[in-house]
């Protein structure tokens, strides 16, 4: 008799696994929503404690710290175990929030943001790395969908919460709330997270890789705040160059961030990471969609904000459907179709840009952005499972899982900076900026169909489909 069963949402969110799912998803949601919450509160914050000149650095400090800690997730998980790793992550996040909440000036606030970033990077990475250790294989795709959907949900929760506090003219209570949430989740972690065994790490700390990648992300982040023109181009090129050096170094390094199998001949993990990076790259458009909505569509800030959330909404909702796919042919189509749908959605949105559009065109803006986000959502769960299933060695498997978040953060940082550069190149015309930004990003997304096709042809797609079934 065939005893194969397909993992269901009811099982994942049932009494047995729901507490674990809450911790995994809750940690990522705290990281994601904090990004948008702080952005929406920044005018109120700098109005209170000053530091207008360091406006952009509030995000740069957080982002760079997140990237650094995300590269250490697998090492901390192996050497400290799941419980200590999560307590450290929530503890750092709560401490950073506390420092921010009591900060008398921008310097202390930036320090708090950096500590928050260290905790947030660990939370985001652990959200993926613990899936394969805390849940059965049949639930991996759905858990990956739930965890990654939190980035989209954060784009809805963060601005809403930040806007509510901002409307009241206060910002410190928002960070006190984060402190309280971190404390509550630490208690939940102690009660529900399965304990994993500790082990010695077989490799040294990947110091060179950490320095190279941190410098690359920092340079690209700076590119969006230096004066437009030659300085922007130089900083961006240096950042991209450091990123290339990081990849070349990782190929032969004994102490590496990514698992050794990433660059092995005939293995598909490199294509998985490349596809994840390209899908994450598309998210860089989000920061400017509300601007285009207000300037071109003459929308109110509220409606423009909802327009900006359309991509995240498509991403979050589509994952809940895509994660149910178990047939190999369907999984292959979803993996290849993800980058293509993202490209089509962005290209259609670009073609519809106009100054003073009709209500129908504005409605189509939402539809095309939702479709672009769905391109990310339909492929992501299966890419995550392909990464989880790529290696057998526990230490390398932890690296492979945590690597998803590292690649995600790297690509997000690069795309956000490039988006700012493209918008500057289109000035003073907002319409030109919109066309340039969206067209370039649509082309990059379309290029993602190639690595996705390589994955679909390999055994990775078969593993992604098979992992959702158990005997």
Lowest mean pLDDT among 57-61, 147-151, 381-385: 57-61
Q: Provide the pLDDT for residue 30.
A: 87
Centre a 10 Å sphere on the Cβ of residue 44 and count the other Cβ atoms it contains.
Answer: 19
Q: Provide the pLDDT for residue 464.
A: 61
Unique residue bearing structure tokens 């250490």 = 72
pTM for this entry: 0.76
Rounded Cα distance, 431 and 422, in Å: 12
Taking every pair of Cα atoms in the chain, the longest distance, rounded to a whole number of angstroms, is 70
Q: Provide the pLDDT for residue 231.
A: 79
Residue with the bigger pLDDT between 308 and 380: it is 380
Res 463 pLDDT > 50? yes
Res 202 pLDDT > 70? no
To the nearest whole percent, how much of the chain has pLDDT over 70? Answer: 89
* DSSP assignments along 281-337, one per residue: HGGGGGGGHHHHHHHTT---HHHHHHHHTHHHHHHHHHHHHHTT--SHHHHHHHHHH
Q: What is the mean pLDDT of residues 4-16?
A: 78
To the nearest whole percent, how much of the chain has pLDDT over 90? Answer: 28
CA dihedral of 408, 413, 416, 422, whole degrees rounded to 10: -110
Res 470 pLDDT > 70? no
Confidence of residue 439 (pLDDT cuts 50, 70, 90): very high
Q: Provide the pLDDT for residue 199.
A: 65
Centre a 10 Å sphere on the Cβ of residue 164 and count the other Cβ atoms it contains.
Answer: 13
Q: Provide the pLDDT for residue 372.
A: 95
Q: Provide the pLDDT for residue 471.
A: 38
Confidence of residue 337 (pLDDT cuts 50, 70, 90): very high
Q: Provide the pLDDT for residue 3.
A: 40
Cβ-in-10-Å burial (0-12, 13-18, 19+) of 195 comes to exposed
pLDDT tens-digit readout, 31-56: 888 877 887 777 788 888 987 667 66
Q: What is the mean pLDDT of residues 45-69?
A: 78
pLDDT tens-digit readout, 81-123: 889 999 999 999 999 999 999 999 989 999 999 999 999 989 9
Both structure tokens of 176 = 């006190």
Nearest in space to 209 (alpha carbons), one of 168, 242, 257, 176: 257
Q: Provide the pLDDT for residue 350.
A: 95
Cβ-in-10-Å burial (0-12, 13-18, 19+) of 105 comes to exposed
Confidence of residue 253 (pLDDT cuts 50, 70, 90): confident
Res 142 pLDDT > 50? yes
Q: Provide the pLDDT for residue 1.
A: 34
Res 323 pLDDT > 50? yes
Q: Provide the pLDDT for residue 228.
A: 66
Q: Provide the pLDDT for residue 224.
A: 62
Res 290 pLDDT > 90? no
Q: Provide the pLDDT for residue 4.
A: 45
Q: What is the mean pLDDT of residues 327-355?
A: 93
To the nearest whole number, what is the mean pLDDT of the chain? Answer: 83
Both structure tokens of 296 = 């071109």
pLDDT tens-digit readout, 260-272: 788 877 778 889 9
Cβ-in-10-Å burial (0-12, 13-18, 19+) of 53 comes to exposed
Q: What is the mean pLDDT of residues 225-241?
A: 79
The helix or strand, by DSSP H or E, that contains position 260, with its residue range, turns out to be: none
Confidence of residue 203 (pLDDT cuts 50, 70, 90): low
Task: Give 193's DSSP letter.
Answer: S
């Amino acid at each position: 008799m065939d005893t194969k069963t397909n993992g269901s949402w009811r099982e994942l969110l049932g009494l047995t696994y729901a507490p674990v799912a809450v911790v995994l998803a809750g940690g990522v949601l705290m990281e994601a929503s904090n990004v948008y919450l702080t952005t929406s509160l920044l005018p109120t914050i700098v109005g209170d404690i000053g530091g207008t000149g360091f406006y952009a650095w509030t995000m740069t400090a957080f982002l760079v710290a997140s990237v650094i800690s995300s590269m250490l997730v697998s090492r901390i998980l192996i050497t400290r175990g799941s419980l200590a790793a999560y307590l450290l992550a929530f503890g750092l996040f709560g401490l950073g929030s506390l420092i921010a909440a009591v900060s008398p000036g921008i310097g202390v606030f930036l320090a708090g943001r950096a500590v928050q970033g260290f905790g947030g990077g660990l939370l985001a990475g652990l959200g993926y790395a613990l899936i394969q250790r805390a849940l059965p294989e049949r639930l991996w795709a759905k858990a990956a969908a739930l965890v990654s959907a939190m980035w989209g949900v954060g784009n809805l929760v963060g601005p809403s919460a930040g806007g509510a506090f901002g409307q009241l003219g206060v910002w410190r209570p928002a960070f006190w709330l984060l402190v309280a949430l971190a404390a509550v989740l630490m208690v939940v972690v102690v009660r529900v997270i399965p304990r994993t065994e500790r082990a010695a790490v077989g490799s040294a700390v990947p110091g060179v890789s950490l320095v190279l990648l941190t410098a690359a992300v920092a340079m690209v982040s700076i590119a969006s705040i230096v004066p437009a023109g030659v300085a922007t181009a130089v900083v961006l090129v240096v950042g991209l160059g450091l990123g290339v050096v990081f990849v070349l170094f990782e190929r032969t390094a004994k102490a590496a961030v990514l698992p050794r199998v990433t660059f092995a001949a005939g293995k598909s993990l490199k294509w998985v990471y490349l596809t994840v990076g390209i899908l994450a790259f598309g998210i860089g458009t989000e920061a400017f969609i509300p601007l285009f909505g207000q300037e071109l569509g003459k929308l109110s800030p509220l409606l423009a904000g909802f327009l900006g959330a359309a991509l995240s909404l498509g991403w979050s909702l589509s994952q809940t459907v895509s994660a149910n796919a178990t047939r190999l042919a369907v999984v292959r189509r979803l993996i290849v179709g993800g980058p293509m749908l993202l490209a089509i959605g962005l290209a259609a949105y670009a073609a519809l840009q106009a100054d003073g559009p009709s209500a129908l065109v504005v409605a189509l803006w939402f539809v095309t952005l939702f479709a672009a986000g769905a391109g990310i959502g339909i492929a992501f769960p299966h890419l995550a499972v392909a990464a989880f299933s790529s290696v057998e060695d526990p230490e390398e498997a932890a690296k492979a899982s945590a690597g998803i978040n590292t690649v995600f953060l790297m690509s997000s940082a690069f795309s956000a900076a490039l988006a700012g550069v493209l918008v500057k190149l289109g000035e003073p015309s907002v319409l030109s900026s919109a066309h340039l930004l969206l067209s370039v990003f649509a082309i990059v997304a379309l290029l993602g169909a190639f690595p996705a096709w390589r994955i679909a042809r390999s055994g990775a797609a078969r593993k992604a489909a098979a992992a959702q079934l158990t005997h």
